[in-house]
Every structure is written in C-alpha cells, then in structure tokens.
C-alpha cells in the first residue's frame, strides 16, 4: 500500500494521467465534430407549403429544393381530384436536406361502399347512417302513409337501392318518406271528361294518385282522349277515400253526352 501511494506521487504517474485525460478529451472532440459534420449541424431548410397545390406543382417545388416525397391517397368527395390535401412534415418545419416529405393526394376515383339498411328508419336516423358511409341524401319526396318521416323507398340514379348493393362513395341517395297522413280521407274528385294529363293534375291536388288506365274503342288521339269512367267514383254512398288511394280511369275518343 505504501508503495502504491508513493507511486501516485511520482512524475511518471502524473505524465500517464495527463496523457490519459488528453486522450479521452481528444476522442470526445473528434466524436463531437464528426457528428456535427455527419448531420450537417445548422444546415437544412424550411419545408415549403404544398398543401392545396396540384400534385405536379407540389412535386416540382419539392424537387427544386432537393427533397424527396412519398405519396398516399384518399377520397374526399367535396375536393377536386389530384390536390394535395395534407403534408408531413407541416409547412415551415426545419428539416435536413434530402428529407422525405409525405403527401396525401385526393384521388379521382371514388371507392365503392355497400349500401346500408335504412328502410323503415326515421329520416334523421337514415341521414346519419348515410353520412357515416360517405354518402349524401339527394331528393326527398313524400307519399301517403301512416308513418311520418319514415323511409319507405330508396333509389339511386332512378333505380331502387337495396341493402348490400355496391355504389360509389359520395353518391346522392333519393328517399321516399311517409307523410303521416295515411289514415286521412279526401273528397273524390270528378274526372269525367278530363284528359289523362288533366286527371293527373287534379289527383295530385287531392293527394290521390293515378291507378290503372284502360281504353275503350278505337283510340286515334291519345293526348285528347277523355275519361268516360273512373273508379272509385263520387256517389251518394261514397264521397271520400284515404289519401294516396289510386283512381283507375278509362279513356276514349268518344264524346261524352
């Protein structure tokens, strides 16, 4: 122990200690400056604003700055296709040269979705379900029915839609709803002598609808053929029918006396 303590007081130990410390400090300095050089400390650029630009404009801007890019796509129905809708990192973020910028582009092709079951659901509930599937409510119309604001029929592009049918996301869905007046009654209009178009107009005003159409005799002028019979017809025993009741008519080119 005494010899070790004596050694610590020698010049040889002091020289070795100074050399070891200098070596460690030198290694640390070399590592520090090497890291700064490797990472180009203090060098870089701000990410440009490419959100809202077309894909080609965004790529040109990034390539001019020496930045790389990767692309993903989504479909947003209310935005034009080919537009950058998101970027990562955000604009004005400080990054190193050659950094990859991730772009999200709005695709032109709408993905398909399977239509949900909304029949006989309330209009409010149907709206929420349709929106959750990326669809929109188009035109709405009403028909006589005891249910009020309940979905009775669904159509897309003029054709009926059923649960599970595949349609493009963003499509507008037309709904036929009940008006809640199915049990109400209205007066039976007299259609005798009316043309078909006049009858349709009269029935619509009475909340009734045109039923079957038959013809009597030789019909030479369909547009001017007039109604010679209807069913149901206004009588002493029957004056009212339920809203939405179909009225059947018979047309003829014969004059009505």
- The secondary structure of 62-96 as a DSSP string is HHHTT-EEEEEEE--TTS-TTBEEEEESPTT-EE-
In whole angstroms, give the CA distance from residue 103 to residue 176.
42
In the structure, what pLDDT confidence band is assigned to residue 175 with cuts at 50, 70 and 90? very high
pTM of the entire structure?
Answer: 0.49
In the structure, what pLDDT confidence band is assigned to residue 102 with cuts at 50, 70 and 90? very high
* CA distances in angstroms from 2 to 9, 17, 122, 210, listed in the order given: 11, 20, 98, 123
> Is the pLDDT assigned to residue 219 strictly greater than 70?
yes
As a whole number, mean pLDDT of residues 184-203 equals 92
What is the model's pLDDT at position 2?
Answer: 59
Region of residue 8 (phi > 0: left; psi between -120 and 50: alpha; otherwise: beta): alpha
Residues 6 or more apart whose Cβ sits within 8 Å of residue 228: 192, 216, 250, 251, 252, 254, 256
Q: Is 108 exposed, middle or buried (0-12, 13-18, 19+ CB in 10 A)?
A: exposed
As a whole number, mean pLDDT of residues 33-51 equals 68
> Is the pLDDT assigned to residue 130 strictly greater than 80?
yes
Residues 6 or more apart whose Cβ sits within 8 Å of residue 201: none
What is the model's pLDDT at position 35?
Answer: 57
In whole angstroms, give the CA distance from residue 252 to residue 217.
6
As a whole number, mean pLDDT of residues 97-106 equals 89
Angle at 46 between CA 41 and CA 48, to 5 degrees: 155
As a whole number, mean pLDDT of residues 227-239 equals 91
In whole angstroms, give the CA distance from residue 232 to residue 190.
10
As a whole number, mean pLDDT of residues 137-145 equals 89
> Is the pLDDT assigned to residue 69 strictly greater than 80?
yes
What is the model's pLDDT at position 215?
Answer: 92
Q: Is 221 exposed, middle or buried (0-12, 13-18, 19+ CB in 10 A)?
A: exposed
What is the model's pLDDT at position 4?
Answer: 55
Residues 6 or more apart whose Cβ sits within 8 Å of residue 178: 142, 143, 144, 145, 146, 147, 148, 149, 150, 152
Q: What is the mean pLDDT of the chain?
A: 85
């Amino acid at each position: 122990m005494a010899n070790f303590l004596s050694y610590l007081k020698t010049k040889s130990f002091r020289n070795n200690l100074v050399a070891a410390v200098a070596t460690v400090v030198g290694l640390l300095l070399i590592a520090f400056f090497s890291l700064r050089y490797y990472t180009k400390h203090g060098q870089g650029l701000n990410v440009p604003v490419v959100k809202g630009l077309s894909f080609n404009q965004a790529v040109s801007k990034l390539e001019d700055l020496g930045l790389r890019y990767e692309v993903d796509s989504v479909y947003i129905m209310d935005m034009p296709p080919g537009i950058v809708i998101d970027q990562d990192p955000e604009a004005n973020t400080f990054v190193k040269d050659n950094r990859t910028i991730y772009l999200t582009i709005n695709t032109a092709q709408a993905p398909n979705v399977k239509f949900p079951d909304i029949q006989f659901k309330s209009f409010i509930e149907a709206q929420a379900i349709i929106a959750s599937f990326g669809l929109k409510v188009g035109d709405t119309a009403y028909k006589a029915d005891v249910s009020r604001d309940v979905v009775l029929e669904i159509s897309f592009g003029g054709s009926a839609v059923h649960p599970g049918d595949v349609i493009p996301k963003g499509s507008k869905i037309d709904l036929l709803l009940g008006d809640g007046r199915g049990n109400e009654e209205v007066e039976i209009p007299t259609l005798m002598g009316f043309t078909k178009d006049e009858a349709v107009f009269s029935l619509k005003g009475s909340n009734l609808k045109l039923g079957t159409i038959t013809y009597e005799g030789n019909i030479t002028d369909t547009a001017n053929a007039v109604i010679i019979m209807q069913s149901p017809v206004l009588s002493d025993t029957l004056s009212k029918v339920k809203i939405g009741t179909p009225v059947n008519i018979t047309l003829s080119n014969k004059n009505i006396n």
